[in-house]
Structures are given as structure tokens and as C-alpha cells.
Structure 1
Amino acid sequence: MELFPPLPYEEWRATKETLHRFAQVVGKVRLAASPRRNHWWNVPFHLTGRGMTTRPMGLGDDGGFFCVDFDFTAHRLEVTAGDGSAASFALPGLSVAAFHDRLRAALAGVGAHAAIALPRPFDLPDSGRPFAEDEEHCTYDPAQANRYWRILSQVNLVLEEYAAQWSGKTSPVHHFWHTFDIAVTRFSGRVVHHPATVDPVTREAYSREVVSAGFWFGDPAFPRPAFYSYTAPEPEGLAGQPLEPAAARWVERNGSHLAVLDYEDARAAPDPKGAVLAFLDSAYRGGAVLAGWDTARDACPDGATDPVVAAGPG
């Protein structure tokens, strides 16, 4: 085991692009079979000791439910139902089309029902092609998939530690299948009024003022993994706020600014986890102070809100 093992973008790009689409197929099942939550919190995956899970969903009038899990140790997809029935299949060697068909068969095999409204990729270059027709993406390297999950799990725990330092409204730490990142978001509570032209997904995700932080694995426009943070709406002067450590910087992306700490820079730090936590805290403070948040009120040192507990023994 190694904290933050290397995973260069180009080295695993083919596996990443296939796995991203596998995740979107399962994610759309989750979207169809779960009750809607504020800010789409019902939709993302959560990490497990062997991979990631949709969590139980699809509660029927008869009390039945089901769950879909990726196992990145045995490299299988598992569908289980509340009555104990189960179905699974191996992930290596499958195209997206084959994965889509086998998942449908597995769901039917346990009596699970979830009609995907739009069975094609979301916000990817091939968004016009149905999953059932995608024979192009068919690369699954087990070692790379396992490393992806281990990095996700390590980052998950670092984000949990960051989240513990703040007591205001916050999201779970969760893995978004549409953007393929893992994130946690803090909310000020202020309502954001969007123009009518803003799409429904964005309107719900950013209906309140936020500082969001996370990690993503890179994409063609930014071909390397990195930790990030942003404030939305972006306050004036955000890109001039200081960041830690020295390798961190502000990057313009899609008309706004991201605080970015490259994964390789974090790996090279004497204390990689400490460097990431310092980065996340500096980016949060940069946005929150400019936006006028009460950072002292919501501070939660070492996860304690009670002043006696926070003070420690004696």
C-alpha cells in the first residue's frame, strides 16, 4: 500500500473512459430508482471496502429493494436484492454495450425495475450514442481499476477529515458518476437566484451558495489528476486569494476560477495528506471570507461543536 499512488492520466485513459461509462450506466439506474434529494445528493456513489455502491434503492410497495455494487478487488459488478437474490458478472473484457446488456439482465434476474430515462452518456463527447451501441469503449485493466478505487478511498478519507472541521450544512463525501470526481460541499445557506437560461441540473446543484472541494482524475482539457476547490457564485477577487502549499494555484475554467493542487505536487510533498488539507482549508477561507461567511461560527476543530469537548480534558 502507498498513500496517493501514481496514476498518470494518459497511462490509464482508455480504462478510465470505459469505466466512466460503466459508472454512468449504473448511475442512471440510481437516478431512476432513488427518491430525489436536495442538490442531487441521492445520485452519487459512496465508497465501500471493495469498491463503490449505489446504496439500497427502488423500494416497492411489497417492501422490496435492490443495490448495485462495483467490486474493484474481484472486478465484478454485483446486483443484490432485499430478498437475498443476487446476480453478478465480470468487468474485464466488456464493451459499454455488453456491460449495459448484462446489467439489464442482472436487474431482471433479481426482480429489480428501473427504467433509465436517457440511456446514453451525460456530458461526454459521445453523448448522442446509446449505451447499447457503444462497442468502442471496451478497455478494463484490473490493476488500473483497482488503483483508481484505492486512490478514491484515500481521498475520501482525507475529504472526511476536511469535512469534520466545519459544522454548517455540508454534503456527504460522494463520487459523482457524471463528472467522475469525488467531492464534499459546504453551504452558507444563502439562496442563489439563477437566470431562466440555466439548466435544471445546475439550478438544483447550486441553488445555495457553496464552497465545494474535491478531486478528479483529469480530462482532455486538463490531462492530469488534481485536487480542486471553487466558490459559487464566485466572489470578486477570488483568484487573488493566497493558497497553500506553494505549488497550488488558481486556474480559469469555463469562465470561473478553480483552486488547483496537482496530484503529483501533493504526492511530492513531505506530508502529502497535510498538504492537501492545507490546500483545501486555504481555498475554503479564500472564498468564504470574500463571500462574507461566518467562518468562526461554523468552525468545528477536530469534529467537536461542544465547547467543553473542544477544550479537551480538564
Structure 2
Amino acid sequence: MMDGWPSIPYMQWRETCTALHLWCQIIGKYRLAHTPWVNHSWHATLYVTPRGLTTGPVPDRVLITVSFDFCDHTLVVEAEGGARAIVPLQPMTIAEFFSWAKESIQAVGGRPTINGVPNEVADPIPFAEDHTKRPYDADAVRRFHQSLVCVSRVFNQFRTAFLGKVSPVHLFWGSFDLAVTRFSGRKAPLHPGGVPNLPDSVAREAYSHEVSSAGFWPGGLGAEDAMFYSYAYPAPAAFSQQKVDPAEAWFDEKLGEFLLPYEAVRQSNDPERVLLLFLESTYRAAADTGSWPRRELECRPGAPRIPRPV
């Protein structure tokens, strides 16, 4: 058992993180291929579990769940009726993982329909053609998973203080970030698209309505260490000039987002409180500069066994 917020310096496990990102894309694409479309691509994401990450139930010919177990370091494929297949997580090529994942899904009665090209990465190599041996640092993956557990707990608490439309806390495998998103309820202007290796139609559907979105990256893709972010779409003119908490947070002009280093949260005396300060203050920056109807959308944070007043 691991307590607290672990250290996850990106450069020390960058190659393993890259491999894990591509593995998650493969499994996420399986869910995407068989699940009816849900608003903002929420049908395609992965979810944090006590042992790793999961697709949740996928409606294939039979109901199938595909899960990363970062405690035993296995990929577990399970189907209704009890069929089960396991793939060890270890150093391997992306092509090998792609092949074993498809074989395992087929072995339990599923159809391994998986688009073969990575999304949202520069110069993507088709999975079946990626024969570079990738490392697997099991301890780093275990620590990353524990960080996801800690972050998802805070994100889920933050989610409860909103009566308007709000997303689940889920991991987007394209950009490899854990995210939670609040909506003003108003339509947004057409998104310009242009996300690397992502159809414009997908980006435009994802950003069809005004959002304040926050999330967590392990590093890479513009954030060279583990980082929290928060942005608004469309971004109000004064959004970037707003003062947010804690003091270690800043607005990154290149990314167009407020950022807060994971290490600043981890090393604080109260990581949960510091992260909530960031989530709440950046949301207020978006809502206030965007003239959201805050009184209609907000409520006190949820608590177990206490119904909301009506």
C-alpha cells in the first residue's frame, strides 16, 4: 500500500510513460469502436480504479471490460459469462502489445476493432509498425497510478459543487490527461480544429458548448513535468489576467492555460486543499470573465448521505 502523493518526475520515466500512453490509446480505441457516441467523446475515455485504469463495460458482441492492473502489472480482459484473458505488462514493442491486446479481446468473444494509428501525437507511427522496444518501469507506473488516485479524489470532490452540466472525472487517452469539465450551458463558437491527428469534427463536437476545464498531465505534450492545467473555451478576453491560487500557479501564454506544477501540490502541507484552491480559483476566473450564471450553476460541495436542499 502506498500513502500520500508520490514523486513522479517525468524525465525519469518518460519512455515508459510514452509506451503507456500508446497502450492506453489502443485500449481506448477499442472502447471507442464499440460504444455509441456520447456528448464530447465521453464514451471513449478511461477511468481510474483502485488497481489502475479501465474502459468500463464495452458493448461488443458480449459485454467486455478491459483494465490495466498496475498492482499486478497485467492487462485484464473480461467478458460476461466469466471468460478472462491476461497480458503481462513488461518491456515490449507497441506492435507486440497491439497484437496481444487484439488476441485477448478475441479470446473472450469480442471483436478487436481498433483504429491502427495514434491520435494527438506528432509523427504517429501505426501501432502494428512500431517495432521499437519500449521499457516498462513498474515502480514508476505504480507511483503514477497512485498520483491518479490522489488527483481523481480531489477532482471528484470539486465536481460535486456544481449543479450545471459537468463531465465525469476521466482520462482522455489522446492527450493522456485526467480531466473534469464544467459547462455554462451556452453554445460555443465553432472550434477551429487543427488538433494534431484528430478529426476536426471530433474537436468541434467536443467544444460545442462553453467550458471551464481542468486536468492533470504526467508530463510531455507541452508540459515537461507533471502539471495541473485549467482553461476556458472560448477564452474570455480578460481570462489570462485573472489572479488565481496558489501562488505557484501562472498563465502560460503558449498553451493558453493556467498551470500548476504537481510538485508544488505534492510538497505542500495540504495537497488536497492546494489543488482545490487551483480548481476553484481558475473556474471562477473563467466563469466571472465569461459572465456565467454562477448562482444558478453552483452549490455547496456534496457530502455522503446528505441530499441537496431544494
TM-score, with normalisation over the residues of structure 1?
A: 0.91
Aligned to 1:277: 276
CA displacement 1:18-72 (0-9 Å, x = unmatched): 1111111111111101111000010110111211110111243xxx211111000
- The 2-side partners of 1:109 and 1:209 are apart by 43
What one-letter code is carried by the residue in structure 2 that aligns with 1:293? W
**Distance change (3 Å), C-alpha of 1:120 and 1:288:** same
- The 1-side partners of 2:105 and 2:191 are apart by 40
**SS of equivalent residue, structure 1 residue 189:** strand
Aligned to 2:224: 223
- The 2-side partners of 1:197 and 1:271 are apart by 39
**SS of equivalent residue, structure 2 residue 181:** strand
What is the aligned counterpart of 1:84 among 53, 77, 82? 82
**SS of equivalent residue, structure 2 residue 298:** coil
- The 2-side partners of 1:276 and 1:137 are apart by 37
2:191–2:207 contact (8 Å) kept in structure 1: no
Aligned to 1:124: 121
Structure 1 portions without partners, runs of 5+: none
Aligned to 1:35: 36
2:74–2:89 contact (8 Å) kept in structure 1: yes
What one-letter code is carried by the residue in structure 2 that aligns with 1:303? G
- C-alpha deviation, 1:81, in angstroms: 0.8
The residue correspondences of 1:196-215 to structure 2 (distance < 5 A) are 199-215=200-216
What is the aligned counterpart of 2:111 among 110, 113, 137? 113
What one-letter code is carried by the residue in structure 2 that aligns with 1:15? T
Higher mean C-alpha deviation, range 5-14 or range 217-226? 217-226
1:78–1:86 contact (8 Å) kept in structure 2: yes
- The 2-side partners of 1:234 and 1:195 are apart by 12
**Over aligned residue pairs, what C-alpha RMSD do you find?**
1.9
Aligned to 2:156: 160
What one-letter code is carried by the residue in structure 2 that aligns with 1:154? C
Residues 1:95 and 2:132 aligned together: no
- The 2-side partners of 1:308 and 1:74 are apart by 38
Residues 1:294 and 2:290 aligned together: no
**Distance change (3 Å), C-alpha of 1:167 and 1:120:** same
Residues 1:240 and 2:238 aligned together: no
**SS of equivalent residue, structure 1 residue 102:** helix
**SS of equivalent residue, structure 2 residue 297:** coil
1:33–1:114 contact (8 Å) kept in structure 2: no
**Distance change (3 Å), C-alpha of 1:223 and 1:175:** same
What is the aligned counterpart of 2:190 among 189, 194, 209? 194
- C-alpha deviation, 1:308, in angstroms: 8.8
**Distance change (3 Å), C-alpha of 1:197 and 1:220:** closer
- C-alpha deviation, 1:297, in angstroms: 2.1
**SS of equivalent residue, structure 2 residue 295:** coil
The residue correspondences of 1:135-174 to structure 2 (distance < 5 A) are 135-174=131-170
Aligned to 1:75: 73
What one-letter code is carried by the residue in structure 2 that aligns with 1:54? T
- The 1-side partners of 2:104 and 2:215 are apart by 32
- C-alpha deviation, 1:136, in angstroms: 1.7
Of all paired residues, the percent bearing the same amino acid is 38
What one-letter code is carried by the residue in structure 2 that aligns with 1:296? R
2:250–2:258 contact (8 Å) kept in structure 1: yes
- C-alpha deviation, 1:221, in angstroms: 3.2
**Distance change (3 Å), C-alpha of 1:186 and 1:197:** closer
- C-alpha deviation, 1:164, in angstroms: 1.1
- The 1-side partners of 2:54 and 2:307 are apart by 37
Aligned to 2:261: 262
- The 1-side partners of 2:85 and 2:122 are apart by 31
- The 2-side partners of 1:36 and 1:107 are apart by 21
Aligned to 2:197: none
**Distance change (3 Å), C-alpha of 1:262 and 1:279:** same
TM-score, with normalisation over the residues of structure 2?
A: 0.93
**Distance change (3 Å), C-alpha of 1:4 and 1:253:** farther
Higher mean C-alpha deviation, range 133-142 or range 93-102? 133-142
Structure 2 portions without partners, runs of 5+: 195-199
